[in-house]
Amino acid sequence: MTLLEHIGLRGLQQIDPERAHGLALKALNAGLVPTWKGPFPSVLRARVLGFDLPHPVGLAAGFDKNAQAVTPLLACGFSFVEVGAVTPRPQDGNPRPRLFRLKKDAAAINRFGFNNEGMDAVGERLIARKRGGVVGLNLGANKDASDRATDFGTVLSQLGPYVDFATVNVSSPNTEGLRDLQAREVLADLLTRTKAVRDAQTPAVKLLLKIAPDLSDAQLEDVARVSLESGIDGIVATNTTLARDGLKSADREQKGGLSGAPLMMRSTEVLGRLFDLTGGALPLIGVGGVGSAHDAYAKIRAGASLVQLYTALSYQGPGLVKDIAVGLATLLERDGFTNVSQAIGVDR
C-alpha cells in the first residue's frame, strides 16, 4: 500500500461508513485509486462459466450497487465485478444509520434493505460504459412486491443484454421474507421462472443463485438438489450472516447482516458442503470473509472456482486485489499446482 493509499484509507475510516463508501466511489471515478492490470501469473488463469479470466478474484455485489464505477473497479485488478442488487423501481432502503464498522473484528454489519436507484438508472450506466471485462448483475426485488419472482425476471429482462451473468439473490437478511424463497418448492418455482426469462430473452447470460450461510444441512441439500434440477449455471456461497458469535466490537448487536472476517469459517463450511452435494457439477463462487490470499486459497480448496470480496476492501484498500492474486499464485506453486483449477475442492 502506498503512502497516499494509506492516508486516504485512514481518512475514510474516520467518517460515517456509508458516507465513506460514497466518497470511495467518487475517488474511483476521479482516477484517484491506483490501477493494476497485471501481468497476472499464468497459474491463476481460469475458465469458469465460459469466461476466460486472468485470475479468480472478483468484487462481490453491494459495493457498486448502482453501476457507478464498473470500469475503474475492473482497472483496480478485479477479474470480474458484480453490481447491484438492483430492483425494478428505485427504493431508499432502511433508515440510516444502517452500516456499522466492527473494527476489532475486521467486519461490518449492514441493514441497507436493497437501497438502489432502480433498473432504469442502472441500465443507463451499463449501456454507456465502455464494454470490456466480465460484469455480473445481482437481481433484487422491491420490498413491497407481491411476486418477487416477477421482479427478478423484470430486472433480468431489461438489464440482461448488458451483463455477462446474473445472480438471483434470495439470501439478504435485510428484506423481510426474502430468505423464505430458499425453501425447496418456492425456490424451484423461482428458479424455473427466472431461467425461463433468461432462456427466452438473454440466453448467453449465466444464471447463478446466492444463498445464505445460515442454512441447515437439510436446507443445503434442498438448495443443491433444486439448483441441479433447475439447470442454473452456478451458486454463490454465501451472503451475510445473522450470527454474532465471538464478536468484540461495540456495535456487534446491531441488526442486519454480518460480513467480513468472522464469516470466513462458516461460509467456507457451506461452500464445501455444497461442493459435496453437487458433486462438483456446478461452479461455485466463494464469498464471505476473504481478506487474504490464504482465505482465497481456502475457498478454492473447499470447492470454489472463483472468489469474491468486499468488506476487506474497507480495511485494506484496493491494493488488496493484487496482494491476494499474487499471494494465491505463490501458494498454488508452492503446493505443486500448475493451474488454479487443479486446486478446486482438493480438501473435500
Q: Is residue 188 a part of any domain in this protein? A: yes
**Beta-sheet strand order (sheet of 99-102):** 99-102, 107-110, 257-260
pLDDT tens digits, 37-89: 888 999 999 999 999 999 999 999 999 999 999 999 999 999 999 999 999 99
Question: Residue 88 has which C-alpha cell?
Answer: 425494478
Helix 119-128 and helix 148-159, axial crossing angle in degrees, nearest 10: 20
pLDDT tens digits, 234-270: 999 999 999 999 999 999 999 999 999 999 999 999 9
Q: What CA–CA distance (Å, rounded) separates 130 from 92?
A: 28
Whether the predicted pLDDT of 225 surpasses 90: yes
Whether the predicted pLDDT of 1 surpasses 70: no
Question: Residue 318 has which C-alpha cell?
Answer: 484496493
* Contact call for residues 5 and 34 (beta carbons, < 8 A): yes
pLDDT given for residue 22 in this prediction: 95
Share of the chain above pLDDT 70, in %: 98
Question: Residue 198 has which C-alpha cell?
Answer: 433468461
Domain that includes residue 112, residue range: 3-343
Short-list 307, 232, 246, 243, CA closest to 271: 307
Q: Is residue 348 a part of any domain in this protein? A: no
Q: Is residue 234 a part of any domain in this protein? A: yes
pLDDT tens digits, 109-133: 999 999 999 999 999 999 999 888 9
Q: What CA–CA distance (Å, rounded) separates 200 from 182?
A: 24
Maximal CA-CA distance, the chain: 53
As to burial, measured by CB atoms within 10 angstroms (0-12 exposed, 13-18 middle, 19+ buried), residue 5 is middle
Whether the predicted pLDDT of 29 surpasses 80: yes
As to burial, measured by CB atoms within 10 angstroms (0-12 exposed, 13-18 middle, 19+ buried), residue 322 is middle
DSSP category for residue 241? B
Number of structural domains in the chain: 1
* Contact call for residues 114 and 93 (beta carbons, < 8 A): yes
Q: What CA–CA distance (Å, rounded) separates 262 from 56?
A: 22
pLDDT tens digits, 134-188: 999 999 999 999 999 999 999 999 999 999 999 999 888 877 777 777 788 889 9
Q: Is residue 207 a part of any domain in this protein? A: yes
Q: How many CB atoms lie within 10 A of CB 225?
A: 15
CATH number of the structural domain spanning residue 148: 3.20.20.70
Question: Residue 126 has which C-alpha cell?
Answer: 451499463
pLDDT tens digits, 9-26: 778 888 999 999 999 999
- Which amino acid, 253? E
58: phi then psi, degrees, rounded to nearest 5: -125, 175
Q: pTM of this prediction?
A: 0.96
Q: How many CB atoms lie within 10 A of CB 204?
A: 11
pLDDT tens digits, 261-316: 999 999 999 999 999 999 999 999 999 999 999 999 999 999 999 999 999 999 99
pLDDT given for residue 131 in this prediction: 85
Q: How is 59-103 classified by DSSP, letter by letter?
A: EPTTTTTTSSSHHHHHHTT-SEEEEEEE-SS-B--SPSP-EEEEG
Active site residues: 172
Helix 217-230 and helix 184-201, axial crossing angle in degrees, nearest 10: 30
Average pLDDT over residues 208-222: 95
* Contact call for residues 274 and 284 (beta carbons, < 8 A): yes
